[in-house]
Amino acid sequence: MKQVDQQKETAQEARANDQAVLVGLREQLETACAEVSIARRQRDAAENHVANLRIERDRHRDMSHAQDRAERSLRQQLAQAQLQVMNLHHEVHYLNNQLNPILDGEEDGLDMEEDDDEEPEEGDDPISDLDSDHDKD
């Protein structure tokens, strides 16, 4: 019986050791599960961050494309406005050329009036003409 008791004690000690090992393994398993859970959350957070960065990158790229389109449109509008200014300049020049002959003709008319007020030539004496008119009365 001694031998059976010894075997029982050995079995109980082995069982106690196995239980202790099992408890240690369960603790390690729980720690590992917690670490896996933390790693998954960190992975999910990193994936969300990457997704947000991609969204932000796409938004900036879209804004850049929109700005490029707006810049091209503004450059086209500027070119059209410059062309209109050039056309208006030519039109004003054309109209000025049409008005200049008219103004030159008016100035000629003014010159004719000024011709009446010109000094008499050497042979003409306006005062003697006036005197001769008085003598006739």
Per-residue pLDDT tens for 119-137? 555 555 555 544 444 444 4
Q: What is the dihedral of CA 53, 58, 64, 67, to 10 degrees?
A: -120
Question: What is the DSSP-derived secondary structure letter of residue 45?
Answer: H
- pTM, two decimals, is 0.45
CA 51/CA 132 separation, integer angstroms: 116
CA separation for the pair 127, 125 (Å, rounded): 5
Read off φ and ψ for residue 125, nearest 5 degrees: -125, 105
Confidence band, pLDDT 50/70/90 cuts, at residue 103: low
Q: Pick the more confident residue, 87 or 99.
A: 87
Q: What is the token pair recorded at 117? A: 């007020």
pLDDT of residue 112: 46
Tell me the per-residue pLDDT of 9-66, one tens digit each, with 9 for 90 and over.
Answer: 888 888 989 899 999 999 999 999 999 999 999 999 999 999 999 999 999 999 999 9
Quote the CA–CA distance of 99 and 107 in Å, as a whole number: 12
Q: Is the pLDDT of residue 87 over 70?
A: yes
Average pLDDT over residues 59-78: 95
